[in-house]
Structure 1
Amino acid sequence: MKQRVTIQDIADALGLSRNTVSKAINGRGSVSEDTKTKIFNKAAELGYKQFAMLNQNHTQTITPQANYEIALFSHSVLSISHFSAPLLHTFEDHISKLGYRLSMYTIRDDFMNQCELPANFNHEFTKGIIVIEMFNEKYTEFLCNLEIPTLFIDTYANTNRQIIKSDIMYMENFNSSYQMTLSLITKGYKKIGFVGDSLHCHSFYERWCGYLHAMQDSSINDFYEYCILENDNLPYYNPELLASKIRALPRLPEAFVCANDYIAIDVIRALKSMNLTVPDDIKICGFDNSTESKIIEPPLTTVNIPGDSMGHFAAETLLSRIEYPELPYRTIYVQTQIINRLSTKK
């Protein structure tokens, strides 16, 4: 039986510390880009966990594609604190070594509603598309029918488990949300609410499901009265409106599990406007490990998304689809990690 590859094995092979390798793979701390690349390559070579799916020798045989581009489609401009920032940095670095340019397109609502491509989109020279923060079911189907290799980073809330004819990559959502909620329950808290539109995207839906199952598995069934689940028409990023929604709850919960960090941070601000303190009066959890989650007062308990690793997997997945379009479609989950901070301290 083949022995399981460990982080220590990778560290020993490269002459690096275990801590450095762990930081690179989990997307935490400061590790140089050259060192990350060496670690990712060695992880793939040795067959470490998710990296076992990657074949570095295959990548090195792909013919460089000068003057061709890979298109990035997004519904909005992606901020530097968005989880996709390190993902795209690694992705672009990887594809540029093979001669591809990354061209960025913001897809407006009218384009999506009419299923149109941007006027400056060059179909002839575009070899692949990576889609981030775009959750329109109709436009997803439209892109899948273009016959251009496409990778979706997250999708619309596919609650009916429809078959999307494309490669898809998700961060792992369900288990982290489940364990984060369960951790609150094991500390003795039962009045726990969820904040966010569970149908905003598939990742939000899976985070909601993780919370839901943790509550139900713990025989806690009266949790809906603590939840704020309005759709995206509610401006979750308005602390004043959030405060009014919190005041309207039948009872104040002991903790909120939020769909992402940005919602969690505005919940903290809303609570402060109500003269409530975190964590003394109420505990708060987020998701994404955004830059803001580290500097908000108090620092936010959250879930780290390893953006560098996701960028590496994304490049390998899309490049292999370009090279071998007949491959079966793949749905890839990248492991995430809970980070406990002061916002949930007992």
Structure 2
Amino acid sequence: MAKEKVTIQDIADALGISRNTASKALNGSGSIPSETRNKVIKKAIELKYKQFAYMESENLITKNPGNIALLTANMPSNSHFGSRLISGLEKRISAEGYNLSIHIVRDIERSALQLPNNFEASKVDGIICIELFDMEYSKLITSLGLPTIFIDCAADMSYPTLQADLLLMENEHSTYDVTKTLIASGCGSLGFIGDYNHCKSFNERWAGFNRALAEAGIRLDAGQCILNPDREFSSESDWMEKRLGQIKELPDAFVCANDFIAVNVMKALKNRNVAVPDDIAVAGFDNAPESRIVEPHLTTVHIYSDEMGIAAANMLLSRIKEPSQPYQVTHIQTTPILRESTGATV
């Protein structure tokens, strides 16, 4: 009599675990510990379950979990972009058997060019850097000789100097498109708000803004821009309002380096009885949740955060497998979203 087909329940019963756990292990779920997954796969091979019937255990069992270190200057929870990106990143690397550990680089460590106390290079297979915009500190990390990817980097970083893979959202062209749309709608004077030396992304947005102005024959008036160091933007609750008060004549539109800045600009303008968009148009970048809550809703640029996390993981995994391949500089598409803050009807 022919033997009945082996089922997932047979595997679960043989190991004394639930059918759900066995199923997740066979499907490569990142929520299942590597040790459990290995036991399930071994038993599937032993019982000749479906696609495992002709496989050898040594070719299938995963190695001990590897370790990927994420180094960042800010807690991921402080940024909607960072937390969503890390979620996509963690799912991808866990599917390959890697654990993710997060290490916060404090200002004192960055200034002293010291690695975080809980970071041990000998126990790390690869490094991901987020919001680390100091060139010298970046060089310290790459000097470790470990596979490394930066998600954004210092504004003045030249790519050959970095000696690591770099992933950026597409910044310049989307900002160019938003600025060009504002000009086409009748804006004859435009100001930029944000520290274009803060990071490469801000620098590229500044470049896109200026390119649109240059093509339209509009002269940049620095007196209508707010380009202070980034740390000053959150120094005092009324800082933006005071800074706007120093501009003799407001432009027709402000293009801001991100939504956080844009929302603060809109609040400060409202406090000064300047109406958006009737008196002045305002645009941001990030498509943060606040951009859909603030009134009027904010024109912005959407970032594909989850996809960036997956792309970063794929780049790093590729670097771990082939350390000698040429370094990559990759931009992930972004999409302008026109809303009421620039006069668009939604």
Identify the TM-score tier after normalising by the shorter chain: 0.7 to 0.9
List runs of 5+ in structure 2 lacking aligned partners.
1-26, 28-58
Displacement after TM superposition at 1:63 (Å) = 8.0
1:222-257 C-alpha deviation (Å, 9 max, x unpaired): 432210111124225745111111111120111100
CA distance in structure 1 between the partners assigned to 2:60 and 2:171 by the alignment:
33
The answer for the alignment partner of 1:321 in structure 2 is 319
Of 253, 256, 273, which residue of structure 1 is paired with 2:254?
Answer: 256
**Greater shift in the superposed pair: 77-86 or 241-250:** 77-86
Identical-residue share of aligned pairs (%): 41
Q: Between Structure 1 and Structure 2, how many residues are aligned?
A: 287
Displacement after TM superposition at 1:152 (Å) = 0.2
Flag the 1:290–1:160 CA change in 2: closer, same or farther, 3 A: same
The answer for the alignment partner of 1:199 in structure 2 is 197
Amino acid at match of 1:124: S
Displacement after TM superposition at 1:162 (Å) = 5.2
The answer for the alignment partner of 2:109 in structure 1 is 111
The answer for the alignment partner of 1:208 in structure 2 is 206
For the aligned residues, what is the CA RMSD?
A: 1.9
Greater relative CO (CA pairs within 8 A, separation 6+): 1
List runs of 5+ in structure 1 lacking aligned partners.
1-33, 35-60
The answer for the alignment partner of 1:341 in structure 2 is 339
The answer for the alignment partner of 1:231 in structure 2 is 229
**Greater shift in the superposed pair: 226-235 or 165-174:** 226-235
Alignment of 1:33-182 (within 5 A): 64-79=62-77, 81-158=79-156, 163-182=161-180
Flag the 1:144–1:63 CA change in 2: closer, same or farther, 3 A: farther
CA distance in structure 2 between the partners assigned to 1:91 and 1:193 by the alignment:
36
**For the Cα contact (< 8 Å) 2:133–2:198, is it kept in 1?**
yes
Q: Does 1:243 align with 2:241?
A: yes
The answer for the alignment partner of 2:13 in structure 1 is none
CA distance in structure 2 between the partners assigned to 1:95 and 1:161 by the alignment:
25
Q: Secondary structure at the match of 2:320?
A: helix
1:28-63 C-alpha deviation (Å, 9 max, x unpaired): xxxxxx9xxxxxxxxxxxxxxxxxxxxxxxxxx998
CA distance in structure 2 between the partners assigned to 1:189 and 1:233 by the alignment:
29
Amino acid at match of 1:333: H
1:135-159 C-alpha deviation (Å, 9 max, x unpaired): 0110001111101111100000026
Compute the TM-score of the two structures, normalised by the length of structure 1. 0.79
Flag the 1:119–1:265 CA change in 2: closer, same or farther, 3 A: same
Q: Which entry has the higher C-alpha Rg, 1 or 2? A: 2
Amino acid at match of 2:221: F
